[in-house]
Structure 1
């Protein structure tokens, strides 16, 4: 969780600086694509603030109202971030692009825009690198896309996808500005703004799908479930574990329940001892499993 917090702070400060520079440049040059990029960076800055808020609320200890803790709050705020990217980032960028197409105006000082886009790419690239390294560290044997789908921490995969969209958006904005300048056709600037908006809409849909899955009771990773199944199978008292159920209740918190079939001849006293010992072993060998509930199968 500490690595995720560092990544969010790095992205927040980078986007805050970038947004201010982009807004100044868009006002000076009149570039629609640059204004779309400024809106994009502003939305990203607000999103990182929401992720930090979600992390703080998710870290609260369990109480009577929430006996399994507040970890799922981070999933909720990750979903809110996806909605903000869709509505404010994507929709406003498309709207701004349409306005530019309806009344195209020449872009002043295009080289200033190119310089700012280059500086923004450095900031965004640094933030992206931090998030990419963390997700590769957590899932070294998976592709980046597969790792994003497997990740249970929105504060990491949201930043990674936001930064990937931001770097792509910068390339689109630079292409639109270049065409508008060299072909003396300002409409390309509006087209770039619309393309950036569509990119943000697609990113928002992907993020919403991932966070929705976590919000609606996504199971623990296959790696964790297989580790638990092996631990249960290796116990000499257990014949089978026909049912192993799990739910992600936080970025690094899992609720687990399993049904066990014991060998014939295992006494009721031994069954109770096995349940207790196996519960302790599961929770110690898999620290992310905060609560494990084992029950014997009905005879």
Structure 2
């Protein structure tokens, strides 16, 4: 659902931004307004960004190879990170440069004065349509999360990127309308420069937010606490496992979660019994968390040495329980 919804939101944003970029640039050529130039470059950058997101989604679907045995799901994160860099450099820094230039050499808008206002009003309507589409598609997977939490914790990067881009575009258009309107009202071109500077600061801020979130995804994020709890419950729900010694989770892509755990198992008569028990545990994990598609379970006999071996710095830990130790999840009584 997230992939399809993300693609629909990207396409809507791409179509809107291409049309807006053309009209803004024509308005700049007619009026010389720096706010219109900054906004046209912003729309061009956004159009390129949506193209990058579509390309990343396409490349992420490639099948795994011996060189990349876990597939290419994280490629979507790479292209989202590139988007943040483009938004910062092409959008934000250019707008700040243009604002400095226009502040040093302010120019009033003497001709075609109705054009920038008309273009900006139409652009706000088009961006509003794109933003509405992104909100609608995000609501399918957001659930009861706040918008801030959704942007910070979403594993599929496309929807948060489009949401922030569209929000930035709408606010930027309001800033541009403010700058152009005040310039027309006062005849002072520095209002236009001020609106351009506000657009630049806004785009740089959004770029930093996107870069921080996509950097976290690139480094590798584990499952949400509720999913971790569901996996633990699934592992210890049957007689095949006495306790979880330690466990790690990692998103290989937006729709693929890896689970690796060392589990304490009771004595088994044969290797066939052990394998059958592990298969049953894997089936319960996939039923509880369908995104858990890559599962590695290492059977062991519970001991203090086993609890410490191979945990690493990123081990999933739990508070100490009665009869266990740090990093140990005992099997529930009666299960």
TM-score (norm 1): 0.95
Shift of 1:284: 4.2
Whether the 8 Å CA contact 1:26–1:34 is kept in 2: the answer is: yes
Structure with greater Cα Rg: 2
Instruction: Judge conservation of contact 1:110–1:177 (CA < 8 Å) in 2.
Output: no
* Aligned match of 2:327: none
> What are structure 2's unaligned runs of at least 5 residues?
303-335
Q: Counterparts of 1:122 and 1:267 in 2: how far apart (Å)?
A: 70
Alignment equivalent of 2:55, drawn from 33, 36, 53: 53
Partner residue in 2 for 1:224: 227
**Structure 1 stretch 147-156 or stretch 106-115: which is displaced more?**
106-115
Flag structure 1 segments of 5+ consecutive residues without an equivalent: none
| Partners of 1:283 and 1:291 within 8 A in 2 | no
Equivalences for residues 29-108 of structure 1 within 5 A: 29-107=31-109, 108=111
Number of the residue aligned with 2:295: 292
Among residues 231, 235, 238, which one is paired with 1:235 in the alignment?
Answer: 238
What CA distance in whole angstroms lies between the structure 2 residues aligned with 1:223 and 1:126?
A: 34
Looking at structure 2, the residues matched to 219 and 153 of structure 1 have their Cα atoms a distance apart, in angstroms, of 14
Q: TM-score, normalised by structure 2?
A: 0.85
RMSD: 1.6
> What number of residue pairs does the alignment pair up?
298
Does the Cα contact within 8 Å between 2:80 and 2:214 map onto a contact in 1?
A: yes
How far did residue 9 of structure 1 move? 1.0
Between 1 and 2, higher relative CO (CA 8 Å, sep ≥ 6) is seen in 1
1:244/1:256 contact within 8 Å kept: yes
Residues 234 and 284 (structure 1 numbering): CA distance in 2 closer, same or farther, change over 3 Å?
Answer: closer
Cα separation, 1, equivalents of 2:59 and 2:267? 49
Matches for 1:254-269 after TM superposition, within 5 Å: 254-262=257-265, 264-265=266-267, 267=269, 269=271
Aligned to 1:174: 177
Contact 2:234 2:288 in 1 (8 A): no
**1:26 aligned residue (28, 35, 52):** 28
Instruction: Supply the distance in 1 between the matched residues of 2:295 and 2:101 (Cα, whole angstroms).
Output: 57
Tell me how far apart the structure 1 counterparts of residues 301 and 121 of structure 2 sit (CA, whole Å): 66
Q: Which has the higher helix share?
A: 1
| Structure 1 residues 245-280: Cα deviation after superposition (integer angstroms, max 9, x where no partner) | 111111211111122223x45556443322112113
8 Å CA contact 2:183–2:191 kept in 1: the answer is: yes
Q: Pick from 188, 191, 196 the counterpart of residue 194 of structure 2.
A: 191
- Equivalent residue for 2:122? 119
Give the whole-Å Cα distance in 2 for the aligned partners of 1:272 and 1:186.
76
Q: Tell me the alpha carbon deviations over residues 88-112 of structure 1, each in whole angstroms, 9 at most, x when there is no partner.
A: 1001011111111111111133332
- 8 Å Cα contact 1:135/1:148 also seen in 2: no
Residues 169-211 of structure 1: CA distance to partner in whole angstroms, max 9, x if unpaired? 0111111112212222210100111110111101100000111
Q: By how many angstroms is 1:122 displaced?
A: 1.4
